[in-house]
Structure 1
């Protein structure tokens, strides 16, 4: 079984043009809540969030605040909400508990969208960095309509590893506005370090706690837009009926409708959440900085948790264009080795200071 994703994945949907999207992404928001927070709405009086940096990455201020992290839904409750789920898989979600209060003590500036193909391409051009999938000669994974695993029970959904697949060729068309995929955790960290040197301010991957706080944006529902999986069809690019045509074995896991995208969607194609962030759910899994530990929540510090001190696999969150609703929940946790490159996995960056106005 291919280890690039621990569990199957989910669905998707279209909204405004990218130009309008970036404008909305640069709207500032209210500060964090101090109790179990209600949905947060942008503050009409707040100052605009950061502009784009030298690579064109737009950053949104995510205010310091408190939230309840994780989920304590029982397997029985989830089975009612997701009737086609494998009952054996539902017990895997014990790593989402216990629900615990987390306080983030500093504002951060988070990428309004996932890093795009065009932004990653420019990073490679300017830095000379060679992505792991190219450097080690083994390539990555890609969609191949003729791919047939030797054993139909295997979870291999994509062809690879193969040198013909990379960040530049996932086996389906992408423009410079699509989220870059097939990038390793090491590739993402390399881009963050290079940008830190270039811009003179720290860039990094979000911690798992920062990611979930930003994704929820004040919500406590399964998905930022609500509890019903149907909300994904209009708010996120996940596993829909059109994508299921290519994987009929899992058609029951898909929604009844189409979000307009069979594969990745251009970033900003759906409505932003209350913090002005796009595609926190769906489109591409997003690397976090933390090592993964299924028991970490029981010992996580209350303020600014950064994950275990060591480990063997890194956290990724948010689901992808191929994620089933069950795996696109805000609380769902997943992981991979730092050198994993997969057709569903990309990243989003955090910047520790606002972008200074440019002449």
Structure 2
């Protein structure tokens, strides 16, 4: 009898978890995508280096004569900078914003709009552009008010690892430049409406480009994140690059720090999944 009862409880639990929506829209119109647990390797870096068979023709065109010593030096320098990375496990599901927080959403929560690119600065609906010109401390004020408005859920910034896991959408390697150009809002004089480019494999838009995005973690003053995030610091981490960025930093691997330019810095929100 006890076995039957336990089995029934487990079946009910599985059914409830399966019934949770993949996409959830809260009371102020913010859409969230459910991200399932998983793992990834963070900080793996293997820069390319020229090999004799691949670069002889290019060297001749440039009038350069590379020796075996040159090739060996290039390989040594690459091996010196290469990093194996480290494993990160995301143990709990969570919901993350399908889009960056927009100016319209910020106004509904805060009653003001700090953004630079609004009104006559853009030709289309500024409410659909990401909010920018917000500090990390500003995001905390927004989250406090959002949590007060919606007591059914808990909202916060993503951790750096949650952000990168969601942005990768299951990818093991760094994102190809061709995919960056298809998915990232870059090379424009202003921000763009959210959701105008191709989403990633899990349905998230603008994780690269449009605006840099604040995350919860402090910056560790290093090029790459540490396996255990630092618990103190003077700045916080920014991810994803902005509309004035390029393919060199529009990658989920980029580990940058605020405050940045201000007018190209925004954020997206995590809504914690109910257990």
Cα deviation, residue 52, structure 1: 1.3
* 1:345 alignment partner, one of 257, 265, 274: 265
Counterpart contact for 2:42–2:86, Cα < 8 Å? yes
**Is 1:56 equivalent to 2:29 in the alignment?**
yes
Counterpart contact for 1:69–1:213, Cα < 8 Å? no
Kindly provide the CA deviation profile for residues 81-119 of structure 1, in whole angstroms up to 9, marking residues without a partner as x: xxxxxxxxxx9xx99955111001100100100000100
Q: CA RMSD in A?
A: 2.9
**Is 1:216 equivalent to 2:216 in the alignment?**
no
1:193 corresponds in structure 2 to: 144
Counterpart contact for 2:225–2:255, Cα < 8 Å? no
Kindly provide the CA deviation profile for residues 269-305 of structure 1, in whole angstroms up to 9, marking residues without a partner as x: 122212111111111100000001145968524xxxx
Larger radius of gyration: 2
Kindly provide the CA deviation profile for residues 117-175 of structure 1, in whole angstroms up to 9, marking residues without a partner as x: 100111112xxxx78xxxxxxxxxxxxxxxxxxxxxxxxxxxxxxxxxx4154683161
1:105 corresponds in structure 2 to: 91
- For the structure 1 residues 291 and 97, does the alpha-carbon distance in structure 2 shift closer, same or farther, using more than 3 Å as the test? farther
Counterpart contact for 2:184–2:250, Cα < 8 Å? no
**Pairs within 5 Å for 1:242-253:** 243=188
SS in 2 for 1:73: coil
SS in 2 for 1:316: strand
1:122 corresponds in structure 2 to: 108
Give the Cα separation in 2 of the matches to 1:222 and 1:116.
28
* 2:183 alignment partner, one of 222, 235, 240: 235
**Pairs within 5 Å for 1:324-339:** 324-337=246-259
Give the Cα separation in 2 of the matches to 1:341 and 1:297.
21
Kindly provide the CA deviation profile for residues 298-324 of structure 1, in whole angstroms up to 9, marking residues without a partner as x: 8524xxxxx211001100000111111
SS in 2 for 1:267: coil
- For the structure 1 residues 189 and 96, does the alpha-carbon distance in structure 2 shift closer, same or farther, using more than 3 Å as the test? farther
SS in 2 for 1:109: strand
2:209 corresponds in structure 1 to: 282
Kindly provide the CA deviation profile for residues 16-54 of structure 1, in whole angstroms up to 9, marking residues without a partner as x: xxxxxxxxxxxxxxxxxxxxxxxxxxxxx9863242112
- For the structure 1 residues 97 and 212, does the alpha-carbon distance in structure 2 shift closer, same or farther, using more than 3 Å as the test? farther
TM-score (normalised: structure 1): 0.57
Give the Cα separation in 2 of the matches to 1:293 and 1:95.
19
SS in 2 for 1:315: strand
Give the Cα separation in 1 of the matches to 2:264 and 2:84.
28
SS in 2 for 1:176: helix
Give the Cα separation in 1 of the matches to 2:109 and 2:197.
26
Structure with more relative contact order (C-alpha pairs < 8 Å, separation 6 or more): 1
Counterpart contact for 1:102–1:209, Cα < 8 Å? yes
What stretches of structure 2 of length at least 5 have no aligned partner? 1-17, 55-76
**Pairs within 5 Å for 1:125-144:** 125=111
Matched residues, number: 226
Counterpart contact for 2:224–2:255, Cα < 8 Å? no
SS in 1 for 2:87: strand
